[in-house]
Structure 1
């Protein structure tokens, strides 16, 4: 490779320079403090693990398996996976490493790695921040998760214009169960729903048991009132379908009451990773953002792979995406070189105030610090800060 190209980075990977790194780090600290105040305990997880550990999600979520880098461990000879999502690692902690009784709450922030970007503008190495709640299978836990997700976005400065999309995989799954569909039919339907391909959906469902219900589920996926008027009574009276529908309706009412400034929408056939999710699903969007700012949902039973199945719900977001195009304007004070006590006292006092001070080295002049915004000068009133 020519020397002129050795500094280039792979597609989807980028350096974070000081002006943006300060914004990201400030948000990371504020978000983790916000979560800690609500009882979410911080954990650090390893960047690599044996692939079997990470496969607790990969086996259920084929998309996650595809974005997981796999390498050979030169010590053990076993296959390792580079974490593409921190959720399975936190589930391992809850199930095996720290198996507390009752409800457990954890939060985390760290870099993950994807084989391919998960969107046109997405990074292959997102800085993932999230929270997980284990041990409670009721709607209250899902609502708490949505509350803290929206709270984190508020901390990040997203206070107006948010749109929350809700879905529930139980609606589709119970309909599949009642109709007795096989796996191929189920997969074909989910793919049609994801593409919103209504003409194809109508043709495909024409020969299925409860075909009109499957079609109406796709056609009216965003209107629960209309949906309940067009579905058959067999489906509406099915225990699992009724429970999922009631949970979704209650969630909408509660969220609209708690977050009146957030626009709440429904898409009952938003089936991303539906083999992994087991209940309520949610994603938050903002104007001029094609990808969700944050997303999550219920994924009961994830710990079964580690010998302890638990009810679980969680959310995650990419801090890089939250602060895209935000840059810090940081005051930087330059002090002259010298070891005089009054100068050192002045520098120490400024730093104790939280201000950023660089002291010149040797014979360096002010122009050796091009990012400086202020300088420390000695006048008749002692050492004073002046704007450059």
Structure 2
């Protein structure tokens, strides 16, 4: 290995240098303060947990994203968290175990074995909020509104789109189709890729009415015209899907009442997190950014593996991805003040007073002003004053 190789990082793993790190930290504080103002309490789950609790009941997707290692103290398998949401569900169900509604939020690093999409990071800084103990559209709406408020508070320019779906629609279609596990897996893959030719080939041995129902899902994405088309498709063939369509209509109507300029997009074949979510799913997309900037949904019952099945809904975003889309934001402010290399008590007291007011004061070492300094402390008569460089 050459000296150059030693400085290389794995693909998809990034270091965050001072300017961006300052922006990430400033944004983290601002958004956690937003969550607190909505009643969401901060929790800090551990970076690693035993896989028994970290992965159980959460589907294959998260399992494949999780790095594994062995605990040298107990010999039990552990995982480095790829998603903080299941940890927060454990905290709600087991560590806190409240009787009523609880609202929790978090921010922390995660690690993925592979990127979720072509340009995605394998080391996101995940920030999110979760609401437990309430199984209603009102709770889903609260979390969607908080997600939108998060993007606004971050300073994201206008022009993002809200994407709505409901896993209950696909579940209703599956109930009617009565497919075996192999057929379901193949159809799931085709629908995720929205590949009609592959879907037609896969459905070759499925009754025609069932095949038409499943193929019809592919076209159910777009503006409001999707919902009446869905009702027509499901009315006779899968009537149990109509409640999910109605729920989407109600959520969209309420969001539009509050945010009339926000574009709302429906995708009734959205299967993101299908093995994890249990109801409405939602995401925010910005033009030119290939993956969801923030996403979430309802995931009832995850706490059951920890002894308490709790209704749950929430969302998450990646702070690094969010910062990268903000328009030239900088947290470095107006620069810094250069402090002469002196042990004079009155000078050091003034430096501390300036720091208490939020100023950055940097010691001068070796007679050189730090590059960030645009002002300096100088002696004027008997007093130390701040002067521009």
Q: Is the TM value for this pair above 0.5?
A: yes
Q: Which shifted more, 128-137 or 151-160?
A: 151-160
Partner of 1:36: 36
3-state SS of paired residue (2:107): strand
For the structure 1 residues 260 and 377, does the alpha-carbon distance in structure 2 shift closer, same or farther, using more than 3 Å as the test?
farther
Partner of 1:92: 90
2 CA distance for matches of 1:203 and 1:13?
Answer: 39
Partner of 1:281: 281
Partner of 2:253: 253
Partner of 2:341: 337
Partner of 1:188: 186
RMSD over aligned CA atoms reads 2.0
Partner of 1:358: 362
Using the TM superposition, give the Cα deviation of residue 381 of structure 1 relative to its aligned residue in structure 2, in angstroms: 9.2
Is 1:379 the counterpart of 2:380 in the alignment?
Answer: yes
3-state SS of paired residue (2:257): helix
Asked whether the equivalents of residues 227 and 245 of structure 2 are also in contact (C-alpha less than 8 Å), the reply is no
Partner of 1:122: 120
Partner of 1:298: 298
Using the TM superposition, give the Cα deviation of residue 321 of structure 1 relative to its aligned residue in structure 2, in angstroms: 0.5
3-state SS of paired residue (2:268): coil
Partner of 1:234: 236
Q: Which shifted more, 311-320 or 378-387?
A: 378-387
Partner of 1:322: 322
**CA shift digits 1:123-164 (9 cap, x unpaired):** 211111111111111111111111111111111111411111
2 CA distance for matches of 1:146 and 1:159?
Answer: 18
Task: Normalising by structure 1, report the TM-score.
Answer: 0.92
1 CA distance for matches of 2:348 and 2:244?
Answer: 66
Stretches of structure 1 that go unaligned for 5 or more consecutive residues are none
Q: Which shifted more, 104-113 or 152-161?
A: 152-161
Is 1:198 the counterpart of 2:193 in the alignment?
Answer: no
Stretches of structure 2 that go unaligned for 5 or more consecutive residues are none
Using the TM superposition, give the Cα deviation of residue 342 of structure 1 relative to its aligned residue in structure 2, in angstroms: 3.8
Runs of 4+ in 1 over 6 A off after TM superposition: none
2 CA distance for matches of 1:383 and 1:291?
Answer: 53
2 CA distance for matches of 1:183 and 1:234?
Answer: 25
Task: Normalising by structure 2, report the TM-score.
Answer: 0.92
1 CA distance for matches of 2:237 and 2:246?
Answer: 13
Partner of 2:350: 346
Using the TM superposition, give the Cα deviation of residue 218 of structure 1 relative to its aligned residue in structure 2, in angstroms: 1.4
Asked whether the equivalents of residues 198 and 219 of structure 1 are also in contact (C-alpha less than 8 Å), the reply is no
**CA shift digits 1:315-339 (9 cap, x unpaired):** 1111011111754443111021223
3-state SS of paired residue (1:84): coil
2 CA distance for matches of 1:313 and 1:74?
Answer: 35
- Number of residue pairs matched by the alignment: 381
Using the TM superposition, give the Cα deviation of residue 182 of structure 1 relative to its aligned residue in structure 2, in angstroms: 2.2
Partner of 2:103: 105
